[in-house]
Structure 1
Amino acid sequence: MVAARVDLKASADVVARWNGEWMSPPISIKVFRTDFGRLARRYDAIRRRWAEELSVEINGKRLSGTHTREYRKRVKKLRERDRKRDRVNKIAHELTKEPAFLVTENVGKKPQEGMIEDKGSPQLRHRIKQTPIKTVVEKTRDKAAERGLRFVVVSSYRNSKTCPVHGAELSFPLGPKIGLCPHNHWVHRDVASVLNMLRRAVEKLEPVCAEAVKRALSAVDEKTLEEWSQYVLEAEGYVQWPDVLARASPMTPARLGGGRGHL
């Protein structure tokens, strides 16, 4: 899970004199490790092991143990739902623990269905369907209302497929993670998505906040996008990224990942 944070004060009084060689734009990127995928893999492995242990052979035909009473009794004792609920609560707390306005995209009623359309692996499709995306959004919205924070919902149309600097459509020749802009630079699709959500949110914010966000976004360039993309890939466990990304030298290493999980 990738989030962006805008330092509104910095964007108001620093961006005007920003020098790309020495200072970073007042936007920072942070990656949250939700562990939903790990939980899904763990419980899937447990169920498979139990199904194998309890399988029986009748008239030469092997029947899965999932149909047995013992299997159902064991599954009832699993705490998968409780653990997911705990993760959701922790994410919502982290995103709303400081004064902020939060921006997310309209995920729809069944966001997982759209995400698994082009996924061929049954295991990957299962893990995606087990991710409580809508629950996270709803819990964060409730927490924001409880703490008096502004919660903005924007369109999800092509946020992860559009370059946030040039507005051009990205292509994905190296896989689904990294997009190539027609202007010959690369950007992680999650980085593109959070920045495009910020851009869309400008229309719904108060004038002062809208102007600060626009100034912050104007300070983002191709080099910054590639730095953030390196950071996100590394956080996701992709130690080796494309050579074209490795060409960017660190601009402000201390600021990378230093932001909070909110805007």
Structure 2
Amino acid sequence: MQVLGVGRPELVPVFTGLSVRQFGKLVDVVRRRGGEQVGVGRRWGLSLEDRVLLIAVYYRTNLTLRQVAPLFGISKSAAGRVVDHLAPHLILAPVRRKHSPDTVLIVDGTLVPVHDRSVSASSKNYRYSANMQVVIDANTRLAVAVGDPLPGNRNDCRAFTESGVDRSCEGAQVMADGGYQGNPSVIMPYRRPRDGTELPQWKHDLNTVHKRVRARIEHTLAHMKSWNVLRNCRRKGRAVYYAASAVALMRNLAMTF
């Protein structure tokens, strides 16, 4: 017996974090990207809307597939096939051209606990985690890019380039915290001189403004982690990136529509 589905719209916000209208926009995105898979292989037992709902519920609640599957009246293996098939269709659209010089972006990394040891490492949160780099637009606060997962012991200054998010920032002004030393293209706060002298007042003032603007990425990461898959991700390999990028897309929809 199917418990969840688009036939019960009152449950969509409870289990996905999206309104019914926002969820409809998510389904439209997946359909445009070929998620329907018409005429190829065996037909799906669930409609496209229900399959998108399944993966949205999976990312939001972080229930196991064994727990999610009965809610939709299907087997665990069928739920796994739905997630594997739709995950690449839910990622953020890649940035294909340079930003204008007036664009201000903010980048920061967050640690996502991951079970897959091939993409994680013991990190400062005392768990095996992946370093996920996230870029947002400082004006709209919408996510622009999510980098490839790197071991959690990789510092942000290396992760910025190795994850690939630096290519998504071309042409724009990029703000970051002091952990991005060594990236001359990134705007960071002024540091206290090594000789121990105090910063001049004008640098203190600029640091205050920088901190106030950069706080927007902290709010973004906190909002993204209301999708519990980013608090304990059981997905392996590339699927970790798919989960983080899908969460960024759903958050954008939640803020836009």
| TM surpasses 0.5 | no
More helix by share: 1
What TM-score comes out, normalization by structure 1 length? Answer: 0.26
